[in-house]
Chains A and B, each alone.
Chain A
Amino acid sequence: MQNLRYEAPETLADATALLSAEDGVARILAGGTDVIVQMHSDLIEPDLIVDVKNIPELTEIAKEGGAYRFGAAVSGKTLMLHEDFNKTWPGIMDGVQLLGSLQVRGRASVGGNLCNASPAADSVPPMIAAGAVASVIGPNGARDIPVEDIVTGPGRTCLEKGEIVVSFLLPERPPRSGDAYLRFTPRTEMDIAVVGAGVNLTLDGGGACTAARVALGAVAPTPLLVAEAADALIGTKVDDAAMEALAAAARAACNPIDDKRGTIEFRTKVAGVLARRAAAIALERAGAN
């Protein structure tokens, strides 16, 4: 680490060029709340740091038609201060508000949280549940990737050398929609999810669920989109039977490990509990819209 190089390009082209040209270990720095910590604890020894916070596309929040797009390096705190975004996507904000501490959220971004590729990242399950799509740019051009496809394993993503997640596009929100995210941690904050569950659903005028997405964190090598769990809700009035079917599907989707943070048995059981509880909150939020 004695020859660490730091660059802060102002355009996407410069950023991808720097990353593509580096032969050693390169890391993208947004808030730095993972990268700097990993450097301090000797987990990584990068040769090049590319700070992307000076690139406008990565730091903007904008509406495209009725849909939100926000930059991958937008800090959690900036999102928290955006009133309409909070109203539209409270479930995503449930996750964002759990990132680190208040101080950490002043720097940490959803893009960084995703690209760090931890199965336990708190903003990722609600982003998957929301149907967020990442806009990626690299030496071979731009591509769009659904958020659930980005992480391929602990610490691994599908991004190729030189590629950067630029922003996230969220779908336009139909009426009577609600989302929610809950995680289980032994502590109230400053902790890492033992299990996370994000639920996003839309109701029709009669209270029946017309669309749903359910995502789980920390119960498999990657965050999971669980179609079976969503199917358990769609077409129902999200009653007790549907909730129990949701919990069962969530449990069935789990493929966790026993580790210092929790046992297989515990994670599986609590995934069902949290999916139910998150669905109940999402339902309430949908009803209020």
Chain B
Amino acid sequence: MGMKPSPYATKIPYEEKDNKVVGGRPDPKNRSDAIDKVTGRARYAADYNLPGQLIGKVLRSPHAHAVIKSIDTSEAEKLPGVKAVVTRDDFPDMEVEHAASGELMVNFRDVTRNMMAREKALYDGHPVAAVAALSESIAKEAMKLIKVDYEVLPHVIDVRDAMKDDAPLLHEDLFTKGAGIEPDPSKKSNIATRMESKLGDIEEGFEQADFIVEHESNTKAAHQGYIEPQASVANFTEGGTIEVYTGTQGHHVFRAQIAKLLKMDISNIKVVPAELGGGFGGKNNVYLEPLAAQLSRKANRPVKMVMTRDEVFRATGPTSGTNCKVKMGCTRDGRITAAQAELNYQAGAFPGSSLPLASITVFTRYDLENVLVVGHDVVCNRPKVAAYRAPGAPMIAFAVETAIDDLARQCGMDPIDFRLRNAAKQGTQTHFGPPLGQIGYIETLEAAKASPHMKEPLGPNQGRGIASGFWFTIGNDTSATINITEDGTASLIFGTVDVTGGMRSAFAMIVAEELGIPFEKVRTQVGDTSALGFNFMTAGSRGTAAGSMAVVKATRDAIHRACEIAARKWEVETDQVVWENGHARPASANVGDFEPMSLAQLCREATWFGGTIAGHAEINVAMGGPGFGTHLVDVEVDRQTGLVKVLRYSIFQDAGKAVYPAFIEGQFQGGAVQGIGMALNEEYIYSDKGTLENPGFLDYRVPVASDVPMIDTHIVEVPNPDHPYGVRGIGEVPIIPPLAAISNAIYDAAGVRLLDHPMSPPKVLKALDEAAPAEAAE
């Protein structure tokens, strides 16, 4: 995962203090991004236009699996108004080379094949050609004139089918790699990788168990559902440089990938990240950028490309559909003795699902002695999966947290007490690697138990469910620069793209706290790739957690510079000056009797005493500060239609220390709503031809506002010991519990156990009918 801990990675110990700004609730209208978003001034990628730009469109495979025998673009090129056409022939082939792209790894051999099909089209929607023309309608006409000769092959969509011996094979060179495979397989397979991790002795664990529960769950692929479709404008100049305006969660990573795919020097490419209309992991990968750049190179004009919603669904990564098998045992008094799981995850057309991440989360909430986790990463004829908010975790939590619920019932224990009995805490050995540090899982369970929600009475056909989730916080390369302007206000440039909309304000609060100036005197902006050192993606819940480490370091660097100016003026040493309440002051009376100087005063003196006040940081932030959350949900089941209505929802999550509580609450709610949508209705539906049946928001049913109640949030604060403000990553945990929590609530309400996702009305009704045929016949 590119996350091996470095001894040189930056940690700053937690500083317990009373903050003036951090942890407060600034007037929402002062949220740095808010006004521009509500007035329509915010510039998303599709809002950028360059003089003379062309419109680019992508021709996509209508087949799930086909050999591309030939592509004839000659007629399209002759159409008046068409300025360039690109196909596989316009891009260099790539060797196998892995790199981190957000939480998932990419292989450049596959990246180039995913952005533009080479030997085969591997899914409905796979790009086979792209056209740049004077207008969209000309580009569309041109696409009709491109002749692609396909040899259609048998396809495979479902992960279980893809694992079978006689399944159609996607790749001629794929042999299963990984743990426990001896000798090396001689037979080609769709199973790219087998993973295994264990702790203790699983057989012995099951022998100690009084109760054993086995669950097999199946989940469909779900899309991130960001409102803003992918869009890019690329301008390739005759001087050999490229400028790209795009929607991305990591412009530096995109820059490196474009350079690799087009065989260019990284320094010749500038990527400007636009305001982001949602990403959730789905904007960790290049799709249009290299195509727009290459079209621009061929046409000698800027090229703008904007996906339709149909293209977004068909060709940008959803999360993995999965098949999970879980077996857990416990003693009569509720101690888990053994926990076993098999995770079978769709990777889409190319290897590399969220399996490595998901397998870390399987049982990581519980203190267990005997664990066995086996996973398979499986290719099938679907778009290559992308990260989606805690990639892979909600699906395995669906199987595990429902099994926990059933074990608790068998023991006759309250499901929260059962979890408390087995809860992970500081020092708990994980099944995948290091023991856990200071964490707040138990605190979330205790907060749930004590909450008013638990005391709300339930009516007929209503039930209550609980589930918990764990996710880590990644660190990685992070850079920031702060410039103190001539009037003593601060301008922060940072490079962890603000995917949430709240990061700019959180950073402004931290800068204000550090400098001792009002929050309103700090302006924060995301810098393009030419403004800063490398920044890894905003992924793995690192945005605020890791980003703020660089912000703190850069601000302290500027403060040091400010103190230096005061020292020079007072003719003392810099270490004899301290920074307090927005002023440089003598460290003690012995230093001398100098009037403290404000930031504005120091700025006026800066030129004489050496130059502008600024600070910067280029650091690799240490990974750390994992997050835990517990959700409570009440549902009502309509026994005649199978409709499940969410009545009440509460979230209890450890945020470390909250910098900007309103923003954290919004993240909790947003994650839970996505989880609720996934639980109840969202699913990729394929025809028997392997084409996507619901590539739009009408039939890919994300919840609308009236589908969910106001979600109660409870921020639990157990500080991250390795962060100066105690921050933990918080963005991903909230999507993990809802699937399981809702299944548990349905069970509580109606006595049926749903393990087949989504828990949509037809499935719920069928389960109810099967459970009580006599009653259903009324």
Q: A residues near B, CB below 8 A?
A: 1-2, 40-42, 184, 186-192, 194, 259-263, 265-266, 269-270, 273
> B761 at interface (Cβ–Cβ under 8 A)?
yes
Say whether B698 contacts A1, CB under 8 Å: no
- CB contact under 8 A between A187 and B693, given known A269-B765, A270-B641, A273-B641: no
- Complex CA gap A191/B698 in Å reads 6
Enumerate chain B residues within 8 angstroms of A259, measured Cβ to Cβ: 693
Name which of B136-144, B375-383, B621-629 contacts chain A.
B136-144
A and B contact pairs by CB, cutoff 8 A, 26 listed: A1-B137, A1-B140, A41-B696, A42-B140, A186-B643, A186-B680, A186-B681, A186-B760, A186-B761, A187-B701, A187-B703, A187-B707, A188-B707, A189-B704, A190-B704, A192-B698, A194-B761, A260-B685, A260-B693, A260-B694, A265-B766, A266-B642, A266-B765, A270-B640, A270-B641, A273-B641
- Complex CA gap A194/B693 in Å reads 16
Say whether A260 contacts B704, CB under 8 Å: no
- Complex CA gap A268/B761 in Å reads 13
> B165 at interface (Cβ–Cβ under 8 A)?
no
Enumerate chain B residues within 8 angstroms of A2, measured Cβ to Cβ: 137-138, 141
Q: In the complex, what's the smallest C-beta–C-beta distance from B380 to chain A, in angstroms?
A: 19
Q: Fill in one digit per residue for B757-768: 1 if any A CB lies within 8 Å of its CB, else 0.
A: 000111001100
Say whether B681 contacts A187, CB under 8 Å: yes
- Complex CA gap A39/B706 in Å reads 29
- Complex CA gap A263/B141 in Å reads 38
- Complex CA gap A149/B16 in Å reads 75
Q: Fill in one digit per residue for B302-329: 1 if any A CB lies within 8 Å of its CB, else 0.
A: 0000001010000000000000000000
Complex interface residues of chain B between 702 and 723 (CB less than 8 A to chain A): 703-704, 706-707
- Complex CA gap A192/B507 in Å reads 43
7 nearest A-B residue pairs (beta carbon): A266-B762, A188-B706, A273-B640, A260-B685, A260-B693, A186-B681, A2-B137
- Complex CA gap A188/B694 in Å reads 19
Say whether A191 contacts B701, CB under 8 Å: yes
Say whether B765 contacts A41, CB under 8 Å: no
In the complex, besides A42-B140, A186-B643, A188-B707, 20 extra interface pairs with C-beta distance below 8 angstroms are A1-B140, A2-B138, A40-B308, A41-B308, A41-B310, A186-B681, A186-B701, A186-B761, A187-B707, A188-B706, A189-B704, A190-B697, A191-B701, A192-B698, A194-B761, A263-B762, A266-B761, A270-B640, A270-B765, A273-B641
Enumerate chain A residues within 8 angstroms of B643, measured Cβ to Cβ: 184, 186
Taking a contact as CB atoms closer than 8 A, the residue among A184, A189, A192 that contacts B761 in the complex is: A184
Interface size class of B (residues with CB under 8 A): 20 to 34
Say whether A184 contacts B707, CB under 8 Å: no
Q: In the complex, what's the smallest C-beta–C-beta distance from B640 to chain A, in angstroms?
A: 5
Q: In the complex, what's the smallest C-beta–C-beta distance from A45 to chain B, in angstroms?
A: 9
Q: In the complex, what's the smallest C-beta–C-beta distance from A254 to chain B, in angstroms?
A: 14
- Interface-central residue, A1, A186, A188, by most chain B CB under 10 Å: A186
- Complex CA gap A190/B701 in Å reads 9
- Complex CA gap A266/B140 in Å reads 40
Enumerate chain A residues within 8 angstroms of B701, measured Cβ to Cβ: 186-187, 191
Complex: chain A residue closest to B141, CB-CB: A2
Enumerate chain B residues within 8 angstroms of A192, measured Cβ to Cβ: 698-699
Complex interface residues of chain B between 726 and 778 (CB less than 8 A to chain A): 760-762, 765-766
Say whether B641 contacts A184, CB under 8 Å: yes
Complex: chain A residue closest to B135, CB-CB: A2
Taking a contact as CB atoms closer than 8 A, the residue among B640, B680, B699, B706 that contacts A189 in the complex is: B706
Enumerate chain A residues within 8 angstroms of B703, measured Cβ to Cβ: 187
Q: In the complex, what's the smallest C-beta–C-beta distance from A188 to chain B, in angstroms?
A: 4
Enumerate chain A residues within 8 angstroms of B704, measured Cβ to Cβ: 187-190
Enumerate chain A residues within 8 angstroms of B680, measured Cβ to Cβ: 186
Complex interface residues of chain B between 495 and 539 (CB less than 8 A to chain A): none
Enumerate chain B residues within 8 angstroms of A270, measured Cβ to Cβ: 640-641, 761, 765
Q: In the complex, what's the smallest C-beta–C-beta distance from A38 to chain B, in angstroms?
A: 12
- Complex CA gap A184/B762 in Å reads 11
Enumerate chain A residues within 8 angstroms of B685, measured Cβ to Cβ: 260
Enumerate chain A residues within 8 angstroms of B762, measured Cβ to Cβ: 262-263, 265-266
- Complex CA gap A149/B693 in Å reads 30
Q: Fill in one digit per residue for B672-707: 1 if any A CB lies within 8 Å of its CB, else 0.
A: 000000001100010000000110111101011011
Complex: chain B residue closest to A266, CB-CB: B762
Enumerate chain A residues within 8 angstroms of B694, measured Cβ to Cβ: 260
Complex: chain A residue closest to B708, CB-CB: A188
Enumerate chain B residues within 8 angstroms of A191, measured Cβ to Cβ: 698, 701
- Complex CA gap A270/B760 in Å reads 14
Q: In the complex, what's the smallest C-beta–C-beta distance from B321 to chain A, in angstroms?
A: 16
Enumerate chain B residues within 8 angstroms of A40, measured Cβ to Cβ: 308
Enumerate chain A residues within 8 angstroms of B697, measured Cβ to Cβ: 190
Enumerate chain A residues within 8 angstroms of B696, measured Cβ to Cβ: 41
- Complex CA gap A184/B704 in Å reads 16
Q: In the complex, what's the smallest C-beta–C-beta distance from B746 to chain A, in angstroms?
A: 15
Q: Fill in one digit per residue for B116-158: 1 if any A CB lies within 8 Å of its CB, else 0.
A: 0000000000000000000001101100000000000000000
Enumerate chain A residues within 8 angstroms of B760, measured Cβ to Cβ: 186
Enumerate chain A residues within 8 angstroms of B698, measured Cβ to Cβ: 191-192
Enumerate chain B residues within 8 angstroms of A261, measured Cβ to Cβ: 699
Q: In the complex, what's the smallest C-beta–C-beta distance from A88 to chain B, in angstroms?
A: 27
- Complex CA gap A263/B703 in Å reads 21
Enumerate chain A residues within 8 angstroms of B693, measured Cβ to Cβ: 259-260
- Complex CA gap A42/B139 in Å reads 13
- Complex CA gap A184/B766 in Å reads 16
- Complex CA gap A1/B137 in Å reads 7
- Complex CA gap A256/B687 in Å reads 18
Complex: chain A residue closest to B703, CB-CB: A187
Q: In the complex, what's the smallest C-beta–C-beta distance from A97 to chain B, in angstroms?
A: 13
Complex: chain A residue closest to B700, CB-CB: A260
Complex: chain B residue closest to A244, CB-CB: B778
Q: In the complex, what's the smallest C-beta–C-beta distance from B677 to chain A, in angstroms?
A: 9
Complex: chain A residue closest to B761, CB-CB: A186
Enumerate chain B residues within 8 angstroms of A1, measured Cβ to Cβ: 137, 140
